[in-house]
Amino acid sequence: MKKDYTVLWTALLGVLLGVLLALTVTRMSENRRLRAGYQDWNKLNLILRQVQDNYVDTVDIKKVTDAAVVAALGQLDPHSVYLPPVELESSEEDLAGNFEGVGIQFNVPNDTAIVLEVIPGGPSEKAGLLQGDRLLRVDDKVIAGVKFPQDSMVRRMRGPAGTKVTLTVSRQGEEIAFDITRGKIPVHCVDAAFMVDDTTGYLRLSKFSRNTYRECAEASLKLLEQGMTRLLLDLRDNSGGYFDQAISLANLFLEKDAGIVYLEGLHRPRNDYKANGKGILKDVSLTVLINENSASSSEILAGAIQDNDRGLVVGRRSYGKGLVQEPVYFTDGSAIRITVARFHTPSGRCIQKPYSDDYQYDIYKRYRDGEMFDSDSIRIDSSAVFRTVRGRTVYGGGGIVPDVFVPVDTTRATPYWIACNRKATQMRFASEMFDRYRGRLSQIETFPQLEAFLDGIDIPGQFQRFAAARDGISPAPGEWAQTEPYLLPQLRALVGRYSRLGENAFYKLYLPVDDVVAAALSAPGAVLP
């Protein structure tokens, strides 16, 4: 019996000690409460310090810090971002106007990269690379026939000026290795500039880089010398870039003191930008082409043209990215881009579209809701009414709504066209045509020469035989006649790109099936009713 009491007392003593220990730990925890506040971001710093001092395992401070920064900026808006060193270098290089590398443009139609263009004066041209060469290896790394990612190819070929790289290519069945010393390569933002007819010029702008104003001015002067009195300025799929280049480009078209844009934010007082009236294109009739991927600086330019009634805007509602990001750089090579203000068109419209939980799926929603096919489905804020210089009504709600809406046309996509598109048959056919007609294509310098060449090689027949033999794709009875008006200009454009006319050939030959260009050509010019 005595033994049983001993066990009981031992158990009770254990419970009492546990309670006392718990009370002691609780009091210690209460005494260790840290004074945290939100006003100076003190709480965030305290938490990270506690993790570093007390976490059970070794902490990767860099990983945790970067994750905290990304999460914090993600609570602000979709465009305030953190850029680690590699991403920062890549994003700035794309807009800088030049990069360091070998100086070629290529595509990958069938798991093997084909050189489309050797940049004049660049390292590859000096080494002897030619348009049409197939890239097999970069140094000792095989990149052909192994589904090697295209962005990885680019990274392997780029590198600091003065360093060396060996590119091994296949040329007409022969394997050739070229030792190339990398150098500075210009990045062009004008994809194409040519005359559509005797008086109408066409200029396609891919981005707003450091060289945009200079390139556009030089291209415009050449078009003016060829008789241009009207310009189609194509900003479709132009995601923007440097703000100052948008201001400079607007100056080409607007009269003195015409408003271009103003920006305003909580810590940034309103700042208006106006034209200086010295532009060389003030007397040229203007039509601006936009679509759902035209963003930022593209929208600044389109909005300025529209609000000043300087020209027509044709296409589909632009993306709606109207936030001003300022970079803050850190000594480790990273940076943040933080939103400091919003862009407004001269009439007062805010370019930025509203934020939402599914903001990143906005373009998908436009398809789902019918906006890409019917102008009546465009979502505008009818309560936000603004007036252009001549009194026309324009609405807020985000993005630039075009004066002339052009829907996406899916009616011409036959099963035969879809099947070819799925296997990139058109791209591979074009590279085969280059191999077959390399000598003749390399001598073509004018559009009439190119048209005559393309007319003489029976592209419809050759393509149908190629698609059937290589991909097992043949049109159903009567389907070629339905497909040809849409597919043939694409084929001619892809083959023509391999001539010395390059991208100018591609865009000009593709115009017959470009509905937005057709609408622009049939619309009135700079003077609006």
Q: Of 406, 209, 429, 389, which Cα lies nearest the Cα of 307?
A: 389
Q: Tell me whether residue 42 is in a domain.
A: no
Q: Which domain holds residue 151?
A: 99-186
- Is residue 375 domain-shared with residue 290, that is, in the same domain? yes
- Is residue 199 domain-shared with residue 103, that is, in the same domain? no
- Is residue 365 domain-shared with residue 246, that is, in the same domain? yes
- How far apart (Å, rounded) are the C-alpha atoms in residues 378 and 240? 22
pLDDT value of residue 121: 67
Residues taking part in catalysis: 296, 307, 321
Q: Tell me whether residue 119 is in a domain.
A: yes
Count the domains in the chain.
3
pLDDT in tens, 424-455: 889 889 888 988 998 899 899 999 999 999 99
Report for 145-149, 434-438, 492-496: range of highest mean pLDDT: 492-496
Q: Tell me whether residue 525 is in a domain.
A: no
- Is residue 308 domain-shared with residue 446, that is, in the same domain? no
pLDDT value of residue 268: 93
Q: Which range, of 70-74, 139-143, 186-190, 482-486, averages the lowest pLDDT?
A: 186-190
Beta strands 285-290 and 164-171, pairing class = unpaired
Which domain CATH number covers 180?
2.30.42.10
Last residue of a domain, one of 369, 384, 408: 408
Asked whether the predicted pLDDT for residue 156 surpasses 80, the reply is yes
Scanning 83-209, the segments in alpha helix (DSSP H) are 85-96, 123-127, 150-157
Q: Tell me whether residue 304 is in a domain.
A: yes
pLDDT value of residue 529: 35
CB 352 within 8 A of CB 342: yes
Whole-model pTM over 0.75: yes
Q: What is the mean pLDDT of the chain?
A: 87
pLDDT value of residue 98: 61
Q: What is the mean pLDDT of residues 512-524?
A: 91
Last residue of a domain, one of 389, 408, 427: 408
The amino acid present at 481, given as its one-letter code, is A
- Is residue 332 domain-shared with residue 468, that is, in the same domain? no
Q: Tell me whether residue 336 is in a domain.
A: yes
pLDDT value of residue 162: 87
pLDDT in tens, 233-292: 999 999 998 899 999 999 999 999 999 999 999 999 999 999 999 999 999 999 999 999
- How far apart (Å, rounded) are the C-alpha atoms in residues 299 and 263? 13
- Is residue 482 domain-shared with residue 513, that is, in the same domain? yes
- Is residue 489 domain-shared with residue 512, that is, in the same domain? yes
Instruction: Output the CA angle 197-202-207, nearest 5 degrees.
Output: 170
Instruction: List Cβ<8 Å contacts ≥24 apart for 74-81.
Output: 76/338, 76/339, 77/323, 77/339, 77/355, 78/355, 78/359, 78/360, 79/321, 79/323, 79/325, 79/337, 79/339, 80/325, 80/336, 80/337, 80/338, 80/339, 81/336, 81/337
Residue whose tokens read 């066209």: 417
pLDDT in tens, 288-332: 999 999 999 999 999 999 999 999 999 999 999 999 988 889 888
- Is residue 164 domain-shared with residue 222, that is, in the same domain? no
pLDDT value of residue 526: 45
- How far apart (Å, rounded) are the C-alpha atoms in residues 124 and 182? 8
